[in-house]
Chain A
Amino acid sequence: MRVPSTSRFCFGALVILPLLTGLACNPFERRSGSYSAGAVDPVRFPAPYLGEGGDPKRPGSGRFQYVTAYSRGQTVAYYPLRLHGEQAKASDPLDLSKVSLPLGYHFDPTQTPDGQDSARCVAPPDYVYDQEARRKDALRQDRQGNIFTALPTESDPPGQTTYVPVVREVAVSSLRNPCQDSKSEEDLVGRDDVSLQRVPPPEGSVGLSTTGRPSGRYLLWILIDPAAEVLFPGGVLDKTTQLGPQRFGWFNQYLTGYLDGGVIPIAPLSPPGTTQMATQRLLYPSRVLDTESGMLVPGSLGEGFDLLEFRRGETGYSPICRVYSFEPHDPLLGFEKSIAEVDPLRITDTGEVVYCPQPPAESR
């Protein structure tokens, strides 16, 4: 029997409309824009960025233990991170001109206390950072995390990574951007609710996009497994966050964790054509007392007796340290707590350079 025209119309509508609707039934399309893609997976991170005991397949298994040092008689905390990969093998590991440094988008650096996330973004109405907010939100919704443009990546074979935990700062000024809304460089440079200097891609270039213009400062932002346990000296945690001195930011919509060492000063007398990081001195006693045996044993970095030249915030502070050992006066009676107390003749240059970030003063 011939199907009436009305039937044919209905049939056609029934077939076509739902199919079109069906094609729009992609739940992933709702994720367009600047959504959180979760935490960075550290599966390809070099071992030093996973923490002690870290397993790339089991995020959170590593631990970063800050240690105690002394600076002019006062205790400070720092994390000793040895140079790694190609940087460790470089003839001049302090020269940044030979390495490709990623950008780091730093929100409101001049209007925000050192080592803190910017609070100049727009928080949700009536937002209160309380226990419930801590439970619900991965990050504070009244702060804006800084944005990274590269992750540490292990080489194949391991040990030859070119990653250097230093970023070239791009200063970003908050205007009316919702907090934690921007999570990637791509999103950030396209926004009109922030202010930053932009560098368009060269004309005719393919695959390149607009980026921020570096401010000229270098920051030690050591990306780590964001799930790793980070502890203040003695295993202490921050009373409010129950976390250590690590900070959190964003990379390509993924949540990252990092150890913030602050601004790296550049040596004013860098040889021509180089950009050398200025260092401060880090001393450790060559002999320490083994409390169990009562014997003197060789000392090493990070045993709680290290001496730093400067504290963070002081002129002369650098998160890069040149390492020296020193002969303590009498380890049985106690240790020097200031470099000034050490006999210069008893100091030996080990030739080693390490990253020695100190946490911001407020979080100590």
Chain B
Amino acid sequence: MRRTHSLWFVPLALLAPLSASAVGEQDGRLYGVVTDKASSAPLPGARISLSGKSLIGGPRRVLTDEDGSYQVVSLPPGSYDVELSYEGAKPLRRRVVIRQGESFPLSIAWSIEELSEATKVIVEERKMTRPDTTQTGTVLSADQQARIATSRRYQDIVQQVAGVSGGGNPNIKGAMDSHNRYLVDGLDITDPVTNTFSANINFDSVESIEVMTGGAEAQYNSLGGTINLVTTAGSNEWKVSASQYVNHQALSVGQQFGTQVYQGSRPFLRIARPPQSGYQTTVNVGGPIAKNKLWVNLSFEYLRRESSQPLGPTLGVQAPSQLSDRFLTRLKLTYAPSAKHRLTLSVSADPAYFQNINQDNLRLGVAEDYQRQGGVFSIVQWDYFHSEKVNTNLQAGVQYSTVDVGPQGYFGTVDASAYRGMGRFSAANESYDPDRPQHYNGDDGTYWYQGGSLTFDKRYTFQFDPSVSVRGKLLGRHEAKFGIQSRVIYHSFDQSVPGGTSYSDIGGGPGERGLCLPEIGQTQGCNLRTDSPAFSNSQVGFSVGAFAQDRWQITSFLRINPGFRFDYGRTQNSLGQEVSSLFGFGPRIGILLDLTQDGKTLFTAYYGRSNEVLSLLAAAYADITPTSTTLRWDTDKKDFVPLRTSGGAEGFKLDPRGNTPHTDEVTLSLRREILENSVASVDYTYKKVSNIWDSLEVNQIWDPTGTRVVDHVDGIPRQIFQYSRPDENWRTYHGIDFIFESRPRQEWDLAVAYTLSFLYGPGAEQFAQVSGSQALGQYYNPRMTHFYDGFLPEDRRHNLKLRASYSYKGFLAGAFLNFQSGAPRTKRFFNQNEGDYTNRRSPSGTDPGQNPNDVSSIAEVRTPSVLTTDLRIAYDLHSLLQKVHLQISADLFNVFNLDAPTEIEVRDVPSYGQVRARQQPLRLQLGIQLSY
């Protein structure tokens, strides 16, 4: 047996140029103690051997230490056969399931009796108490997801996890949707600008997803959660699979409900069902190029989707369908030249094209927009298993992605078929004119003649992450990890406004007749015009972080997991100005008590701080733009006169003061294995996100009511935004999760989670003032700022999730149920200066009630609760076809066809409180999956 390393190795390891670690944990770990059952004495020198289909390079073997302990690290997720042998004795075998990012405790008390059962293979064991970490969340495996109906997008299935709400970019335990980190095979694919997910992945290429909602160790640095994907690798057997999923409006119930919250379907409404279909085709091939040496997995997915807004108000013209085409390709090569080395190369591409993206019944086809997006990303990893005590990991990755948006007519063909020749609209709506400006009619919220701005937006990322893991003994047992994480990001942006200007009309009445068209003498609706020259800019940033994290087992029942990280990030705009230069120190401390000293009952307490030192979002806004001029219609002069300017070299300010945006989190957790392969837990989380980036308008002086701009600080009628991280910009989350997760038998899978949470504070949306949604910006109008402290729009008081599935002889039934109580909404009032409903008269999450000037009348406003239930029924014809698995599936979404409103009108207009969107109606998706 080798001599144990002590911690003197650590500083050397940090200095080693090729010491490496993943940003996200992609593998699992097996550990335990082998003792003699009769005497409880440790058994040193016992041989532990692991083999599994996921493990390249052949079985891994270790010997138990002098205290009988052992551990096997860097095990790709999957099922493993563990063989315990001792010289002169028959081996003992167990089968375990290793999950991504988790440790499996397998301690064995050996006895002669067990030796007599040496060749018996025990059923698969799953340990889900995570006895060595404070991290909360769970792992979603491809195997689990194949048992229930899902949208087949990794972004959506994250919603199955306790503490997760929101949409495709989820809110994880109260953080913003821009506070998460997304990792694919270790590559951070978080968008450098928006801090949301930046890439789509072929769903069939995903092996497992670790959704970390809290308690993160020092190798993670996320203000919200971490969504950590591991894609499928090849194996020693060739496998080919293909699938086809079909959605069509004929398989769906129409959405024909009334506009009042309490109104159901309209039985006498006779309108044609608009097109709604989706076709998803995937092909996957994986296997050995050289057995145990070189594996390959290739995956391709094509998704064609057509969706339409049902005919209805405001325009009453069938909106053109949104058509989207996605091409998702992924290649993964795994190479193990020897037992000490493992090299992995992953490459992904995800180009996608979307036509008519708005889908809101507020515009004709000529005013629709188009979007093309996607890119390519790749990462190479080198794992080096130096010894049982030391292993290293080196990762280097690159990503390119683009999002180009603009008028449909610019990129593609305008669909005017629904209204051409009707006579209801002018001829200008029937053909695209690239120089014709867009008009917005504030009286009915409609858009005319032109899509929005034409933007070309490109992002580049380079990442380099080395780390080292060291195991040793010093006043207990340590498993330490040290690493450096570095990232360079670049963003370029080009924008032009069709026609160079846009109109915001109001007061002329609804529809095209209410527009401001002085050229034909139609001026009743004239209000604001904004002239915006074309421009380009680019920003660059980099960050470097260093972390150290230890898992220190002091006694058999007590662990302390101390860690810390330092991060520094800097961003720069086109002018060469330093937009941010941020440093963050992130201490982490976790205490774990094994209450029953058998790894089955864990109590953990955790405190940690994460810092956001690198985001190009602020730099992208705090950059040079041309001076846009907003003009107001002068009824006396019958012409537009200058009102204010925005942008230009003096259109923004940088505020070097302010703390680094950060999250402080306290987590308490009690976990208990209550049944075989089952765990119940209660997690309490307190999280405060502080010093959130924002843009503060600092030049306009409003009247005391915040309705009219009466003056300007510098005397010049213009807006100036200061980019800052105010102490007053924060959000606080309290949540308690009750979770039960079980896989008692291979046929069963069950997960239940209930979350009670409170989310409040003024930090609703970053940069709302400059992103075009002034209604949500607390720093646009100082007279409104104090109203922005209340329950946040993502606050869901109650959330119940149930995932259950059962399979028997080829038959499979699975269900997912999600209940969410309503989301807070805030009534918005007319602002004379903006000509729009941007003012508030009560705090976030409320309206003023029936008596408008009585605080006791202020009432909370929430959308109704939403319950969705999705069901999968499938049958595998394997018993008939032998070597081939042919599964036919039927997925029912919203089985009970519930129609709860998901969005309501919040403006102070006659339709206040009416439904603007409801949950998707019942639909059926048919699928066929073939694998060989």
Q: Mark A179-205, 1 if CB is under 8 A from B, else 0.
A: 000000000000000000000000000
Is B703 touching A243 in the complex (CB atoms < 8 A)?
yes
Nearest-neighbour CB distance to chain A for B366, whole angstroms, equals 30
Nearest-neighbour CB distance to chain B for A271, whole angstroms, equals 37
The size class of the interface chain B forms with chain A is: 35 or more
Is B672 touching A226 in the complex (CB atoms < 8 A)?
no
List residues of chain A with CB within 8 A of the CB of B736: 14-15, 18-19, 22
Once A10-B595, A38-B787 are accepted as A-B contacts, the answer to whether A139 and B704 lie under 8 Å apart by CB is yes
Taking CB as reference atom, which chain B residue is nearest A5? B595
Once A3-B601, A38-B787, A38-B841 are accepted as A-B contacts, the answer to whether A257 and B705 lie under 8 Å apart by CB is yes
Q: Mark B780-821, 1 if CB is under 8 A from A, else 0.
A: 001110110111000000000000000000000000000000
Once A39-B704, A59-B707 are accepted as A-B contacts, the answer to whether A4 and B713 lie under 8 Å apart by CB is no
Is B705 touching A134 in the complex (CB atoms < 8 A)?
no
Nearest-neighbour CB distance to chain A for B54, whole angstroms, equals 32
Nearest-neighbour CB distance to chain A for B507, whole angstroms, equals 10
A57 in complex: contacting residue of B600, B601, B713, B908, CB < 8 Å: B908
Is B668 touching A255 in the complex (CB atoms < 8 A)?
no
- In the bound complex, how far is the Cα of B784 from the Cα of A114, in angstroms? 31
Residue of B674, B783, B833, B848 with most partner-chain A CB within 10 A: B783
B152 within 8 A of A: no
Residue of A3, A7, A28, A137 with most partner-chain B CB within 10 A: A28
List residues of chain A with CB within 8 A of the CB of B701: 131, 134-135, 242
A89 within 8 A of B: no
B682 within 8 A of A: yes
List residues of chain A with CB within 8 A of the CB of B855: 37, 252-253
List residues of chain A with CB within 8 A of the CB of B684: 14, 17-18
Query: Among A40-48, A100-108, A154-162, A329-337, which stretch is in contact with chain B?
Result: A40-48
Taking CB as reference atom, which chain B residue is nearest A256? B853
- In the bound complex, how far is the Cα of B833 from the Cα of A273, in angstroms? 50
Is B734 touching A3 in the complex (CB atoms < 8 A)?
no
Is A18 touching B706 in the complex (CB atoms < 8 A)?
no
The size class of the interface chain A forms with chain B is: 35 or more
B601 in complex: contacting residue of A4, A25, A40, A151, CB < 8 Å: A4
Is B854 touching A252 in the complex (CB atoms < 8 A)?
yes
- In the bound complex, how far is the Cα of B702 from the Cα of A17, in angstroms? 45
List residues of chain A with CB within 8 A of the CB of B844: 27
Nearest-neighbour CB distance to chain B for A137, whole angstroms, equals 8
B315 within 8 A of A: no
B596 within 8 A of A: yes
B760 in complex: contacting residue of A25, A39, A254, CB < 8 Å: A25
Q: Mark A28-72, 1 if CB is under 8 A from B, else 0.
A: 101100011111110110000000000001111100000000000
Is B760 touching A151 in the complex (CB atoms < 8 A)?
no
B698 within 8 A of A: yes
B710 within 8 A of A: yes
B564 within 8 A of A: no
Nearest-neighbour CB distance to chain B for A252, whole angstroms, equals 6
Q: Mark B824-838, 1 if CB is under 8 A from A, else 0.
A: 000001111100000
Once A19-B736, A27-B760, A229-B708 are accepted as A-B contacts, the answer to whether A4 and B841 lie under 8 Å apart by CB is no
List residues of chain A with CB within 8 A of the CB of B699: 135
A7 in complex: contacting residue of B670, B758, B761, CB < 8 Å: B670
Is B682 touching A41 in the complex (CB atoms < 8 A)?
no
List residues of chain B with CB within 8 A of the CB of A243: 703, 710
List residues of chain B with CB within 8 A of the CB of A345: none
Taking CB as reference atom, which chain B residue is nearest A153? B853
A248 within 8 A of B: yes
List residues of chain B with CB within 8 A of the CB of A15: 682, 736
Q: Mark B703-726, 1 if CB is under 8 A from A, else 0.
A: 111111011010000000000000
Is A31 touching B843 in the complex (CB atoms < 8 A)?
yes
B786 in complex: contacting residue of A36, A40, A43, CB < 8 Å: A36
Is B713 touching A132 in the complex (CB atoms < 8 A)?
yes
List residues of chain A with CB within 8 A of the CB of B833: 60
List residues of chain A with CB within 8 A of the CB of B786: 35-36, 38
Taking CB as reference atom, which chain B residue is nearest A36? B786
A226 in complex: contacting residue of B668, B674, B704, B832, CB < 8 Å: B704
A135 in complex: contacting residue of B698, B832, B841, B852, CB < 8 Å: B698
Is A18 touching B734 in the complex (CB atoms < 8 A)?
yes
A227 within 8 A of B: yes
Nearest-neighbour CB distance to chain B for A180, whole angstroms, equals 11
A97 within 8 A of B: no
Task: For chain B, residues 668 to 708, give those with C-beta under 8 angstroms from any C-beta of chain A.
Answer: 668-670, 672, 674, 682, 684, 686, 698-708
A269 within 8 A of B: no
Once A3-B601, A15-B682, A22-B734 are accepted as A-B contacts, the answer to whether A27 and B708 lie under 8 Å apart by CB is no
Is B601 touching A39 in the complex (CB atoms < 8 A)?
no
List residues of chain B with CB within 8 A of the CB of A14: 668-670, 682, 684, 736
A127 within 8 A of B: no
A1 within 8 A of B: yes
Once A14-B668, A59-B832 are accepted as A-B contacts, the answer to whether A135 and B595 lie under 8 Å apart by CB is no
- In the bound complex, how far is the Cα of B732 from the Cα of A151, in angstroms? 37
List residues of chain A with CB within 8 A of the CB of B787: 38
Nearest-neighbour CB distance to chain A for B694, whole angstroms, equals 16
Is A257 touching B704 in the complex (CB atoms < 8 A)?
yes
B756 within 8 A of A: yes
List residues of chain B with CB within 8 A of the CB of A27: 760-761, 789-791, 843-844
List residues of chain B with CB within 8 A of the CB of A61: 832
List residues of chain A with CB within 8 A of the CB of B848: 41
List residues of chain B with CB within 8 A of the CB of A241: 710-711
B551 within 8 A of A: no
Nearest-neighbour CB distance to chain B for A5, whole angstroms, equals 10
List residues of chain A with CB within 8 A of the CB of B784: 38
Taking CB as reference atom, which chain B residue is nearest A254? B853
A251 within 8 A of B: yes
List residues of chain B with CB within 8 A of the CB of A31: 843
B197 within 8 A of A: no
Once A14-B668, A18-B734, A243-B710 are accepted as A-B contacts, the answer to whether A135 and B782 lie under 8 Å apart by CB is yes
B704 in complex: contacting residue of A17, A151, A255, CB < 8 Å: A255
- In the bound complex, how far is the Cα of B701 from the Cα of A242, in angstroms? 10
Is A28 touching B790 in the complex (CB atoms < 8 A)?
yes
B852 in complex: contacting residue of A41, A132, A257, CB < 8 Å: A41
- In the bound complex, how far is the Cα of B708 from the Cα of A61, in angstroms? 10
B609 within 8 A of A: no
- In the bound complex, how far is the Cα of B682 from the Cα of A10, in angstroms? 10
Is B852 touching A44 in the complex (CB atoms < 8 A)?
yes
- In the bound complex, how far is the Cα of B707 from the Cα of A57, in angstroms? 12
Taking CB as reference atom, which chain A residue is nearest B909? A57
B588 within 8 A of A: no
B840 within 8 A of A: yes
B603 within 8 A of A: yes
Residue of B668, B782, B833, B852 with most partner-chain A CB within 10 A: B852
Once A59-B832, A227-B703 are accepted as A-B contacts, the answer to whether A28 and B756 lie under 8 Å apart by CB is no
B-to-A contact residues, CB < 8 Å = 595-596, 600-601, 603, 668-670, 672, 674, 682, 684, 686, 698-708, 710-711, 713, 732, 734-736, 756-758, 760-761, 782-784, 786-787, 789-791, 829-833, 840-844, 846, 848, 852-855, 908
13 new A-B contacts, CB < 8 A, other than A39-B704, A138-B704, are A21-B686, A25-B760, A27-B760, A27-B843, A27-B844, A28-B843, A41-B841, A59-B832, A135-B699, A139-B704, A226-B704, A252-B854, A254-B853
- Could you give 19 example pairs across A and B, Cβ below 8 Å? A1-B600, A7-B603, A7-B670, A14-B668, A19-B756, A22-B757, A26-B760, A37-B842, A37-B855, A41-B853, A59-B707, A60-B708, A134-B701, A227-B705, A237-B710, A242-B701, A252-B853, A254-B853, A257-B704
A-to-B contact residues, CB < 8 Å = 1, 3-4, 6-7, 10-11, 14-15, 17-19, 21-22, 25-28, 30-31, 35-41, 43-44, 57-61, 131-132, 134-139, 151, 226-227, 229, 237, 241-243, 248, 251-255, 257
Q: Which 10 A-B pairs have the closest CB atoms?
A: A39-B705, A60-B832, A25-B758, A227-B707, A60-B707, A27-B760, A41-B852, A227-B705, A242-B711, A242-B710
